Amino acid sequence: MDALKHIFSSVLHVSTDEVTKDLSPDNTPAWDSLNAIILVTEIEKAFAVRFTFDEAMAVKNFGEVVQLVRSKGAAL
Amino acid sequence: MQPLSYISAYTHRPKSAGSRLHPVSINLITNFTDDVLERILGGMCLNEGLYPVITKAPYKQYGIALNDRTSPIYRSKPDISFVIFDASAHHQSEFLSAEHRDDTLSAINAYAGAVGGHTVVGLFSLPYRGAYGHFFSEEPLFVALSDFNHKIKRLAQTNPALHVFDANKVMHRIGEEQARDPRGQCAFDMPFTSEFLAALCAEWMAYVRAGLGLSRKCIVLDLDNTLWGGVVGEEGPLGVTLGKEYPGVAYQHFQRALLSLWECGVILAINSKNNEADVREVFEKNPHMVLKEEHFAAVRANWDDKSTNIKSLAEELNIGLESVVFIDDSPLERERMRQEVPEVLTPDWSVEPEEYVQKLLALNVFHQMSFTEEDKKKGKMYAEEARRKKVAKTAGSVEEYIKKLRIKIQVAEGDRVAIARASQLTQKTNQYNLTTKRYSEADIAALIKKGVLVATGEVSDVFGGYGIVLLAIMEVRGKEASLDTFLMSCRVMGRGVEQAFFEHLLGRLRTRGVSTITACFVASAKNKPAEGFLPAMGFKKTGVKLNERRYMLALGPVAKKLTSRKGKSILVLSS
């Protein structure tokens, strides 16, 4: 979980403490479409998983990211 | 470090440089989405104590930005500009058009000449596969990119502000399959993986260091298990592992790599826990040594603490500790050096000897923006210096020593041949430098063209030449002159040549009818040695503002005798 939070903190200019399940594009100005794809790429690399475009775009907040990563069989 | 760490460092960077970080203005000009590139480059700068201010040409607008002298990339006054374009086989590249290529090339050339600092242009990396496979080199994209690459190389030969960087080499290192990100390209026009971008930025950092005058000048080496295998004190001068067979040959390779850096002007020195007599014996008796004693500017073979030794080496060689790299196979010695003298770069060296060469070259910290004749001669100059030191020991006083050297200064004004060296002096000279202003070759050429007095001094003595080591830049307007830059390479410090050179220039100004000269001393972290120069030349302080001290000199019709002048016996010639 720390690794996942670290990725969000690195890309989105928030501290790891601020990365909660409710963190979302709506309450995080830096979470734009460009940073979204950077996040996707970094998460895929860190956890050796691969998302489809639709999966990645459907994500609404950090909590859903956690679920998505887990659904790919990665341990968090 | 992983790309993400650099991204993180840049995302969370402080709001301003503060007093600890050295600001650097970088322009980034690409034809793809370059946000990740910006962040990785920024993170690498921060990692080295630099505070990056990165200005980008807006997405897909590089053509407009390059041509518009009021655009942000002109206003940012960059120290360095990086230009890199990408074209891949099915992406309908604009660079397939010959007209677009030529327009872009001439825009880059004009930009590099006008914007200031250095402009580093990446060659296109040629795609591994195309529709023609490997059968025909006539494939349109291949032809187009080769054409651009060829032409930009030609432009760089005549434009000193323009440098060519071969991005193919980075592709070569990473491998195209690891370097390209097809999804990134399709979704966001981000054609490269962050691994490729990090490798690219790692190479760009060498240009940043060189451009800011932060390159390292000297390698201080341990001996046992660093320059040869085994311990000379135990195995004897002929018993150490060195020769044509493995593993001895690995040490020979390392010595040859060091020798090639020495031939590029990097200074070598020794810092080893050994008896000096044992070390000397290896140099004298072991036929497998590639490096000879003459390649080393100074030697510390003793049982003192290595950090104490390195400080005295730097002092003897007249170089700052921040221009030194220390190489030692012992983790303990390295750790102690990092603790005691953090300015010295002490790279991790826990690798097998056959890895030493790659490790050394990968440091990437020795490069200069230009490679002048002076650089090639530097190794020899240090050998001459060792002979001078012997004379200094027998001379009774500094004056007597200077007299024995029979120093000559050849002064030239507005010498176009010396432009590269003059620029390099402004980049590299930190200690004896009144204002520490950095100028590119293009800047110097522009100053000469404008009629600013750019005077260089080439110094020699009975033992040989020091090369061009003095530079003064002065703007003369009617009866007033203002000193913009005055510097002296540390190679000739302590001989009074700066005074003799300046007195000569005063004489020249006098004949031009100049009556007052204004000058200033801008204190930096390193230029304390130059602090007393202006007062010693008779200048009077007129004001102080922050770290800047302003001075003025009223120039009488006749030269005043300076009481403190060391270099009375120096002969000054002008061409």
Which tokens go with B490? 């540390």
Chain-chain contact of A10 with B35 (C-beta, under 8 angstroms)? no
CA dist B473 and B453 (Å) reads 6
Which tokens go with B356? 């030493």
pLDDT on residue A31: 94
Q: Which residue of B has its CA nearest to A4?
A: B4
Nearest CB among A12, A37, A42 relative to B4 is that of: A42
Nearest CB among B8, B181, B188 relative to A10 is that of: B8
- What average pLDDT does the structure give for chain B? 92
pLDDT on residue B317: 87
pLDDT in tens, B321-350: 999 999 999 999 999 999 999 999 999 999
pLDDT category at B371 given cuts 50, 70, 90 is confident
Q: Could you give the 3-state DSSP secondary structure of residue B274?
A: coil
pLDDT on residue B567: 67
Nearest CB among B4, B35, B181 relative to A34 is that of: B35
What residue type is B414 in one-letter code? G
- Which positions in chain B touch A11 (Cβ < 8 Å)? 7-8, 11
pLDDT in tens, B199-243: 999 999 999 999 998 999 999 999 999 999 999 999 999 999 999
pLDDT on residue A37: 87
Asked if ipTM goes beyond 0.90, one says yes
Q: Is A49 on the interface with B (CB under 8 A)?
A: no
Which tokens go with B502? 């300046």
- Which positions in chain A touch B38 (Cβ < 8 Å)? none
Q: Is A42 on the interface with B (CB under 8 A)?
A: yes
pLDDT on residue B554: 92
Mutate to test the interface with B, among A10, A37, A50, A52 (most CBs of B within 10 A): A10
pLDDT category at B419 given cuts 50, 70, 90 is very high
CA dist B414 and B293 (Å) reads 39
Q: What are phi and psi of B92, to 5 degrees?
A: 50, 60
Q: Could you give the 3-state DSSP secondary structure of residue B411?
A: strand
pLDDT category at B556 given cuts 50, 70, 90 is confident
pLDDT in tens, B170-181: 999 999 999 999
- What average pLDDT does the structure give for chain A? 92
Mutate to test the interface with B, among A32, A38, A43, A50 (most CBs of B within 10 A): A38
- Nearest-CA neighbor of B490 among B482, B502, B479, B498? B498
pLDDT in tens, B118-129: 999 999 998 888
User: What is the average pLDDT across B438-463?
Assistant: 93
In this structure, what DSSP letter does residue B31 have?
A: S
- Which positions in chain A touch B13 (Cβ < 8 Å)? none
Question: Which residue do the tokens 């479409």 mark?
Answer: A33
Name, in order, each residue with C-beta under 8 angstroms of B143's C-beta and a sequence gap of 6 or more. Answer: B137
pLDDT on residue B563: 52
**Min distance B105 CA to chain A CA atoms (Å):** 30
Confirm if B430 and B321 have CB atoms less than 8 A apart. no
Could you give the C-alpha distances from B192 to A50, B17, B186, B210, B546, in angstroms and in order?
A: 17, 30, 11, 26, 46
Tell whether the model's pLDDT for residue B379 goes beyond 70. no
What DSSP letter does each residue of B515-542 carry, written as one string? -EEEEEEE--SS-GGGTTHHHHTT-EEE
Q: Is B113 on the interface with A (CB under 8 A)?
A: no
User: What is the model's pTM?
Assistant: 0.78
Q: Could you give the 3-state DSSP secondary structure of residue A27?
A: coil
Q: What percent of chain B has pLDDT over 70?
A: 97
Question: Which residue stretches of chain A have pLDDT < 70?
Answer: none
Cis ω before B347 (30° cut-off from 0): no
pLDDT in tens, B315-324: 988 889 999 9
Tell whether the model's pLDDT for residue B575 goes beyond 80. no
- Nearest-CA neighbor of B165 among B217, B128, B201, B212? B201
Name, in order, each residue with C-beta under 8 angstroms of B67's C-beta and a sequence gap of 6 or more. Answer: B107, B110, B111
Tell whether the model's pLDDT for residue B370 goes beyond 60. yes
Nearest CB among A7, A12, A13 relative to B4 is that of: A7
Mutate to test the interface with A, among B6, B56, B188, B193 (most CBs of A within 10 A): B188
Name, in order, each residue with C-beta under 8 angstroms of B36's C-beta and a sequence gap of 6 or more. Answer: A38, B3, B7, B190, B194, B197
- Which positions in chain A touch B184 (Cβ < 8 Å)? 37, 41
CA dist A52 and B434 (Å) reads 60
pLDDT on residue B566: 67
pLDDT on residue B128: 83
CB under 8 A, 24+ apart: contacts of B141-150: B141/B87, B141/B89, B141/B93, B141/B96, B144/B87, B144/B93, B144/B95, B144/B96, B144/B98, B144/B101, B145/B87, B145/B95, B147/B98, B147/B101, B148/B95, B148/B101, B148/B104, B148/B105, B148/B123, B148/B124, B149/B123, B149/B124
pLDDT on residue B560: 67
pLDDT on residue B50: 96
pLDDT on residue B398: 79
Tell whether the model's pLDDT for residue B412 goes beyond 90. yes
pLDDT on residue B302: 96
Q: Is A60 on the interface with B (CB under 8 A)?
A: no
Name, in order, each residue with C-beta under 8 angstroms of B305's C-beta and a sequence gap of 6 or more. Answer: B336, B340
Tell whether the model's pLDDT for residue B160 goes beyond 70. yes
- Which positions in chain A touch B188 (Cβ < 8 Å)? 33-34, 37
CA triplet B53, B57, B60: central angle to 5 degrees? Answer: 150
pLDDT in tens, B472-525: 999 999 999 999 999 999 888 888 899 999 999 999 999 999 999 999 999 998
- Which positions in chain B touch A34 (Cβ < 8 Å)? 33, 35, 188
pLDDT on residue B568: 75
